[in-house]
Structures are given as C-alpha cells and as structure tokens.
Amino acid sequence: MAARAGRYGSFPTTADMGLWATGNGAEALYEGLARALAAATTDLRTVRPSVERTVTAVGRDPVGLAVAFLGELVTLFQVEGFVPRTVRVELAGPERLALRATLRGEPFDPERHPRRIEVKAVTFHEAVFDAGRGRARLVVDI
C-alpha cells in the first residue's frame, strides 16, 4: 500500500458501479481509484505483490486521465488477468496530464482469489476528480 494513499471504495449506481477515492494530491487519488477497481475485482488481501507491471496513460484533463488510466487497468486484467495489490503513480508533463504507474501484483488465480465483479469499461458518467478537495469518483460498466 502506498504511504500517501487515502481511502477508497465503491458505491452502487443504476446498472453499474461507482468507484471513489480520497487522498492528498492527484497521485493519491489516481492510486486510490486503481485500488478501488482492483478491490472490486477480488479481495486484495489474497493478492501477492510478486510481479511488477508498468502502465502509462494520457488525458486531456484530470478526469480524462483517470478514465484512461483505469481503462488501461481493465485491459491489463482482461488480457493478462493481472490484479495489482499496490499502485504507485508518478505524474508527468507540463500540466501533469500524463502518468506512469508501477503496479505490483499477480495474475488472477480462481483457486486463491475470490471473483467479485467483472468491469467491462470505465465511463465519464458523473465523473469527478478534484485534487484540491482530495476526492475522486468514476462509474464503471459491469
């Protein structure tokens, strides 16, 4: 778990699922949203941080960057079955609208990892990313 990480979780929406995060600064919010996504997939306590992956994303604004980043994580799970246990985000670019995330986790193993939900896509619906107030939320299609 990253030292700067705040809290994260999920909330119900009509036919979909919402993810939320709180924390100090944009990096903590992106990290929290990523962990909320992973926790929606399985119990993170069962995931070993034994394999490292790097993910990059770019957005037009902070919400777009959050959607792009979580979209990359959804793809990583769908293609490789990779579930991150820890996430460390570094922002880049003149307006901090690009990121590089270092993920530590492992491939999903149905023998050890309880299956929760399958996320199909990340949406812009009711998306909020407010680093100044330390809160973010996104809705995902399940």
Instruction: Please state the pTM of the whole predicted model.
Output: 0.91
What is residue 36's three-state secondary structure?
helix
What count of other Cβ atoms lies within 10 Å of the Cβ of residue 118? Answer: 12
User: In whole angstroms, what is the distance from residue 109 CA to residue 100 CA?
Assistant: 26
- The class that CATH gives domain 8-109 is alpha beta
Write down the residue that tokens 């985000």 correspond to.
89
Delimit the domains of the chain by residue range: 8-109
- pLDDT tens for the chain, residues 1 to 142: 444 557 787 766 766 899 999 999 999 999 999 999 999 999 999 999 999 999 999 999 999 999 999 999 999 999 999 999 999 999 998 899 999 999 999 999 999 999 999 999 999 998 999 999 999 999 999 8
Backbone dihedral angles phi then psi of residue 47, each to the nearest 5 degrees:
-95, 125
